[in-house]
């Protein structure tokens, strides 16, 4: 499997943690990253960053079609 370069703004799922997180900053050596909990439906960060998480423990978040459809419906219903 090809290694994906981690960069700020990428949505990830950390191993051993529940939920989706957004990469805030990657260390200069590319070995660790600061991440923060991210609410996909509102597209906003939630809470404080988790510092120095090993990049090899992060996998890219992939939203399947069912989740995307549910999110779009929620956004349409709750739109002000």
pLDDT higher than threshold 70 for residue 79: no
Backbone angles phi, psi at 36, to 5 degrees: -140, 145
27-53, pLDDT tens digit by residue? 999 999 999 999 887 889 998 999 999
User: Comparing C-alpha atoms, which of 8, 15, 20 is closest to residue 63?
Assistant: 20
Give the span between the Cα atoms of 73 and 64, in whole angstroms.
14
The model carries a pTM of 0.76
């Amino acid at each position: 499997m090809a290694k994906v370069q981690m960069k700020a703004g990428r949505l990830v799922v950390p191993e051993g943690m529940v939920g989706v997180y957004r990469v805030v900053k990657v260390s200069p050596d590319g070995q660790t990253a600061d991440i923060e909990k991210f609410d996909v439906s509102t597209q906003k960060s939630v809470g404080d960053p988790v510092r120095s998480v090993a990049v090899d423990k992060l996998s890219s978040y992939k939203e399947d079609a069912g989740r995307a459809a549910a999110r779009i419906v929620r956004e349409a219903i709750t739109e002000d």
